[in-house]
């Protein structure tokens, strides 16, 4: 216990003194050819995608793409798009953005230099606000060593079997452990088929953000907003179906940058989508080992009131490698909800109806590092947990399905979490939690008088430093009055 206390104090002091430092990862052995291919959201999900890959020598950056309906095993009739490459940590990283696709269409593609190509990949474009959609979420692969990456990839493969028509895959951060070239090679080797054949929604974690500068943005082509810092990762947003989704960079803090907070407010206040989701790495509600640490506590103080104010329906996060789902919460209090039971895909399902507040979900981890439930989580987190448990013997994944019904003018969200024992050849995913919401459509409107907040130069370094110092002082008070006494006594 004493060791834990000393560690907490040392961590607080070291963050206070050393907010940033430089770490240079070691390079792996040379490789050749096209590798680390990803396709991800980049702007309008009906018409655009961002392609990213790397090579060890400088080559042209070319994507060949065609409708799957026209594909007969050859890319001869495909349209070619070109982009640019940049050198980073022993490799040339290629980015090509395609922005004239047709909505609701299946595409196939290859990437390469014009003569040497990757394997073929595929994705489907967003149909727009009128159509149902679904997605998969996993968190914290955070592996080191190909065997552990392969184990984690089996968890995602199980999710893809469970939800074969998923529209995109959210990875809630911490793809790798030490952010070396070898680890990224292993990640992209193990997850090759998934990354080639599903639109990715990557979230930056601390293992590819804090002190591991620029790695994340070299791995994915996301179209981050102009002016947003990309050294520690990216924040960005997109529409899918009748949802608007913001992806945060929780490394951009100490405390979270005013630019990112303003961007999030502008972004969510400008949408009238029926659903508002936020994906992020560090969790606002978790009963894991990191929740009492200064970075997370400060982020809670700064970000939670904004999430409450913006009427976010669902927040999904990672970082703490255990499972937790809150009740509907607002202002750190449970919101009472009415429910209705009706069929969803033939299954009787209980829906919270037009609930107030936000449900926060930490879907545990697809990886093999699995943490325990932290009974000392800062108050009132455990009181707000509808479910909180560790998943030591299984990897986990989550699915979200959204439908809408014009006749009743309602839209429904069904969330499910599964455990999957990736070491058992005969394992089938086991449902460990579910939750559902039903809302009237058209409840979110845009205020015509809304004045946009500045998204660049919103705060100078002095002001940010003062805000950080202020938040750290508040944390130190909390540490000595609430956190440490709870750990010691
Ligand atoms: Fe993390």
CA of 283 to the centre of ligand 1 (A): 9
Higher pLDDT, 393 or 415: 415
Q: How far is the CA of 330 from the centre of ligand 1 (A)?
A: 25
Tell me how far the alpha carbon of residue 332 lies from the centroid of ligand 1, in angstroms.
Answer: 23
Domain boundary among 125, 140, 175: 125
Residue 227 is predicted with a pLDDT of: 78
**Parent domain of 92:** 39-125
Do 200 and 167 form a contact (C-beta atoms < 8 A)? no
Q: How many domains does the chain have?
A: 2
Could you tell me if 64 and 191 lie in one domain?
no
Query: Does residue 32 surpass a pLDDT of 60?
Result: no
Please indicate, yes or no, whether residues 18 and 102 belong to a single structural domain of this protein.
no
Neighbouring C-beta atoms of residue 97, cutoff 10 Å? 17
Domain co-membership, 4 together with 106 = no
Report pTM: 0.92
Mean of pLDDT values over 207-236: 90
Residues ≥6 apart with Cβ < 8 Å to 6: none
Which residue among 110, 125, 140 closes a domain? 125
Ligand 1: centre distance to CA 142 (Å): 8
What residues are neighbours of ligand 1 (ion), with CB under 5 Å? 174, 205-206, 319
CA of 374 to the centre of ligand 1 (A): 16
pLDDT at 211: 80
**49 and 152 fall within a common domain:** no
Cβ contacts of 439 within 8 Å, gap of 6 or more? 274, 275, 313, 353, 354, 410, 411, 412, 413
The string of pLDDT tens digits covering residues 145-173 is 999 999 999 999 999 999 999 999 999 99
**How remote is the CA of residue 287 from the centroid of ligand 1, in Å?**
14
pLDDT-derived band at 4 (thresholds 50, 70, 90) equals low
26 and 50 share one domain? no
Cα(42)–Cα(49) distance, integer angstroms: 5
pLDDT at 80: 97
Least confident of 19-23, 321-325, 347-351, 397-401: 19-23
Residues in the chain: 489
Do 121 and 148 sit in the same domain of this protein? Answer: no
409-458 pLDDT, tens digit per residue, is 999 999 999 999 999 989 999 999 999 999 999 999 999 999 999 999 99
Q: Which of 95, 125, 155 is the last residue of a domain?
A: 125
The tokens for 369 are: 């590092």
383 DSSP assignment:
G
Residue 72: CATH number of its domain: 2.60.40.380
Q: Give yes or no for residue 487 having a pLDDT over 90.
A: no
Task: Kindly tell me if the per-residue pLDDT of 10 is higher than 70.
Answer: no
What's the confidence (pLDDT) of residue 9?
53
**Do residue 207 and residue 115 come from a single domain?**
no
Question: Could you tell me if 246 and 277 are in contact, meaning their C-beta atoms sit under 8 angstroms apart?
Answer: yes
The reported pLDDT for the residue numbered 27 is 33
pLDDT for 19 equals 40
pLDDT score at 23: 30
- The predicted structure's pLDDT at residue 15: 46
**Interatomic CA distance for residues 217 and 215, integer angstroms:** 6
Q: Is the pLDDT of residue 359 over 80?
A: yes
| pLDDT at 277 > cutoff 90 | yes
pLDDT, mean of residues 346-374:
96
Asked if residue 138 and residue 58 are part of one domain, the reply reads no
Tokens 């400088």 sit at which residue?
58
Instruction: List strand residue ranges (DSSP E) for 313-421, in order.
Output: 314-316, 323-326, 329-330, 333-334, 338-344, 347-353, 359-363, 385-389, 395-405, 410-420
In the prediction, which pLDDT does 278 show? Answer: 98
Q: How far is the CA of 261 from the centre of ligand 1 (A)?
A: 20
Give residue 19 CA to ligand 1 midpoint distance, Å. 17
- Whether residue 220 sits in one domain with residue 103: no
* Claim to verify: residue 391 and residue 483 sit in the same structural domain: yes
Closest CA relative to residue 212, chosen from 184, 236, 233: 233
Higher pLDDT, 179 or 9: 179
Are 19 and 45 found together in one domain?
no
Residue 300 Cα to ligand 1 middle (Å): 15
pLDDT per residue over 108-132, tens digit each?
999 999 999 999 999 999 999 989 9
Predicted confidence (pLDDT) at residue 25 exceeds the cutoff of 60: no
- Per-residue pLDDT, averaged over 44-73, amounts to 97
**Residues 193, 101 share a domain:** no
> Which has more pLDDT, 133 or 227?
133
**Percent of the chain residues past pLDDT 70, beyond the cut:** 93
- Per-residue pLDDT for 31 more than 50? no
- CATH number assigned to the domain comprising residue 390: 3.60.21.10
pLDDT at 22 over 60: no
Q: What is the pLDDT of residue 8?
A: 54
Percent of the chain's residues with pLDDT above 90: 85
Q: What pLDDT score was predicted for residue 363?
A: 96
């Amino acid at each position: 216990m004493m060791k834990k206390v000393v560690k907490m104090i040392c961590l607080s002091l070291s963050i206070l003194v050393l907010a940033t430092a430089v770490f240079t990862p070691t390079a792996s052995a040379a490789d050749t050819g096209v590798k680390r291919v990803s396709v991800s959201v980049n702007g309008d999900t009906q018409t655009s995608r961002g392609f990213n890959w790397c090579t060890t020598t400088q080559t042209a950056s070319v994507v060949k793409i065609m409708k799957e309906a026209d594909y007969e095993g050859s890319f001869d009739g495909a349209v070619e798009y070109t982009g640019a490459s940049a050198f980073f940590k022993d490799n040339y990283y290629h980015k090509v953005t395609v922005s004239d696709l047709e909505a609701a269409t299946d595409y196939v593609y290859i990437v390469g230099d014009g003569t040497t190509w990757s394997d073929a990949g595929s994705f489907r474009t967003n149909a727009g606000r009128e159509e149902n959609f679904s997605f998969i979420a996993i968190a914290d692969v955070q592996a080191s060593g190909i065997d552990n990456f392969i184990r984690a990839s089996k968890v995602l493969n199980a999710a893809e079997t469970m939800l074969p028509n998923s529209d995109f895959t959210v990875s809630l951060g911490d793809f790798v452990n030490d952010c070396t070239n070898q680890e990224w090679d292993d990640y992209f080797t193990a997850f090759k088929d998934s990354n080639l054949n599903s639109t990715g929604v990557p979230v930056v974690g601390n293992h590819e953000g804090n002190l591991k500068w620029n790695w994340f943005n070299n791995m994915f082509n996301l179209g981050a907003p102009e002016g947003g810092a990309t050294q520690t990762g990216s924040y960005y947003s997109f529409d899918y179906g009748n949802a608007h989704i913001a992806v945060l960079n929780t490394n951009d803090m100490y405390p979270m940058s005013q630019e990112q907070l303003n961007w999030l407010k502008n972004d969510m206040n400008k949408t009238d989508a029926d659903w508002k989701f936020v994906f992020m790495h560090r969790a606002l509600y978790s009963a894991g080992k990191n929740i009492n640490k200064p970075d997370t506590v400060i982020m809670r103080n700064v970000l939670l009131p904004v999430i409450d104010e913006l009427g976010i329906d669902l927040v999904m996060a990672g970082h703490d490698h255990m499972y937790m789902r809150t009740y509907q919460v607002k202002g750190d209090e449970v919101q009472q909800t009415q429910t209705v039971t009706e069929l969803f895909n033939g299954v009787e399902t209980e829906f919270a109806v037009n609930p107030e507040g936000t449900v926060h979900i930490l879907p545990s981890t697809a990886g093999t590092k699995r943490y325990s439930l932290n009974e000392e989580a800062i108050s009132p987190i455990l009181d707000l947990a509808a479910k909180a448990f560790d998943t030591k013997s299984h990897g986990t994944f989550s699915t979200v399905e959204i439908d809408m019904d014009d006749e009743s003018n309602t839209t429904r969200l069904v969330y499910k979490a599964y455990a999957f024992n990736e070491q058992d050849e005969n394992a089938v995913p086991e449902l460990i939690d579910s939750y559902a919401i039903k809302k009237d459509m058209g409840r979110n409107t845009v205020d015509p008088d809304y004045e946009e907040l500045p998204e660049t130069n919103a705060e100078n370094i002095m002001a940010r430093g003062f805000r950080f110092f202020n938040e750290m002082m508040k944390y130190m008070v909390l540490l000595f009055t609430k956190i440490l006494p709870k750990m010691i006594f």
